[in-house]
């Protein structure tokens, strides 16, 4: 099968072996997949992953341990878990001690004709959500995770740092709670989307850090985002970190102590909530699509996805 593989470098492999199914697995024929910042970070060494990249996809089930899924159009949760460890047994299966993660940790991903996942990871997609929108279920679920981790009320002042793919999803999810939310970014053309969605936004160069936000969500994708977040949040406020970055950086963490801040790491989120939001059109994902490219052009698609004027690059596989 065709696949986009990262080993020492990223390359298109026209003859990768198809994934071998294990007990409980499903085989999904991938239709489209999205390139995410985590994929870009992996090509810079994040997680030390080697194999087929890709974890945001929509596809058709060709075989499954659950026959009712065969023929269904699905998206898939990325954590493949053991169901037996202390984390799994206490309801924290995304933190399974023995997990593999699609396209990120010990599990070949979805930039390929076929992807393998446990059948229970799959979620059928209603007809009202087209393939373009379905590719966003995974990152939108990650955006919704913020609402599971902190209480946001109508008077909670929230700043989203970063105007990239994830920041713009998080901003819309927060806006829908009715709280005052603003996005701080570096790119006027991306912040223009906020205007379209009636979300306040400011250019980074224009803001003075006032230590006045209740919650700051760092979606910068950069290791230094946390330092700026600590300058924006009020004493006893909360900083939520959504960025996964390859390079380590020495951090100046004393503001964390002095201002008695709470720092919350935030990763994968609820798929069902994301599917519902896409079905009722309460979040606009289609405006985030910058380019569509074929899987054969995958290496070039990665360089396009790195550009600052580009949001989501969709890989067309089928």
By beta-carbon proximity to Zn ion, the closer residue of 9 and 90 is 90
Least gap, CB of 236 to Zn ion (angstroms):
31
CB of 97 to Zn ion, least distance (A): 6
Report in angstroms how near the CB of residue 223 gets to Zn ion at its nearest: 18
What is the number of other CB atoms lying within 10 angstroms of the CB of residue 187? 16
Nearest residue (CB) to Zn ion, 54 versus 255: 54
Q: Of 38 and 119, which has the nearer Cβ to Zn ion?
A: 38
Q: How far apart are CA 315 and CA 318, in angstroms?
A: 9
Structure tokens at 216: 């700051």
156 alpha-carbon distance from chain centroid:
24
**Beta carbon of residue 167, minimum distance to Zn ion (angstroms, whole number):** 13
Phi, psi dihedral angles at 283 (to 5 degrees): -130, 135
Pick 182 or 312: Cβ nearer Zn ion: 312
Q: Which residues contact 51 (CB under 8 A, 6 or more apart)?
A: 5, 6, 7, 103, 107, 108, 109
Count other C-beta atoms under 10 Å from residue 52's C-beta. Answer: 23
Element (H, E) at 174: helix 165-175
Judge contact between 299 and 166, C-beta under 8 A: no
Q: How many residues does the chain have?
A: 318
Interacting residues with Zn ion between 51 and 110 (CB under 5 A)? 81-82, 85, 88, 96
Nearest distance, CB of residue 39 and Zn ion, angstroms: 7
How many chain residues interact with Zn ion (CB under 5 A)?
7
Measured from the Cβ of residue 111, the count of other Cβ atoms closer than 10 Å reads: 31
Provide, rounded to whole angstroms, the least separation between the CB of residue 193 and Zn ion.
19
- The helix/strand/coil state of 236 is strand
| Residue from 36, 230, 232, 310 in contact with Zn ion (CB under 5 A) | 36
Which is closer to Zn ion, CB of 5 or CB of 81?
81
Query: Nearer to Zn ion by C-beta: 184 or 305?
Result: 305
Binding site for Zn ion (CB under 5 A): 36, 38, 81-82, 85, 88, 96
């Amino acid at each position: 099968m065709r696949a986009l593989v990262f080993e020492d470098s990223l390359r298109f492999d026209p003859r990768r072996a198809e994934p071998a199914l294990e007990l409980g697995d499903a085989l999904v024929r991938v239709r489209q997949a999205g390139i995410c910042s985590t994929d870009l970070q992996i090509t810079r060494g994040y997680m030390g992953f080697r194999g087929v990249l890709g974890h945001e996809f929509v596809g058709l089930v060709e075989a499954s341990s659950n026959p009712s899924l065969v023929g269904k159009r699905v998206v898939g949760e990325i954590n493949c878990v053991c169901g037996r460890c202390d984390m799994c047994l206490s309801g924290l299966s995304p933190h399974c001690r023995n997990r593999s993660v699609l396209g990120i940790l010990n599990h070949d991903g979805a930039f390929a004709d076929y992807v393998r996942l446990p059948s229970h990871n799959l979620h059928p997609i209603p007809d009202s959500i087209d393939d373009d929108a379905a590719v966003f279920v995974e990152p939108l679920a990650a955006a919704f995770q913020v609402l599971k981790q902190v209480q946001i009320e109508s008077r909670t002042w929230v700043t989203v740092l970063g105007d990239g793919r994830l920041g713009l999803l998080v901003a819309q999810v927060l806006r829908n709670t009715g709280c005052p939310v603003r996005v701080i970014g570096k790119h006027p053309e991306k912040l223009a989307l906020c205007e379209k969605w009636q979300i306040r936004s400011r250019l980074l160069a224009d803001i003075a850090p006032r230590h006045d936000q209740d919650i700051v969500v760092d979606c910068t994708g950069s290791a230094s985002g946390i330092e700026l977040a600590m300058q924006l949040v009020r004493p006893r406020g909360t900083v939520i970190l959504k960025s996964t970055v390859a390079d380590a950086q020495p951090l100046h963490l004393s503001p964390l102590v002095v201002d008695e801040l709470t720092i919350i790491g935030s990763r994968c989120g609820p798929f069902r909530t994301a599917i519902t939001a896409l079905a009722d059109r309460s979040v606009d994902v289609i405006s985030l699509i910058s380019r569509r490219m074929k899987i054969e052009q995958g290496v070039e698609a990665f360089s396009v996805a790195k550009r600052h004027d580009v949001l989501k690059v969709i890989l067309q596989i089928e």
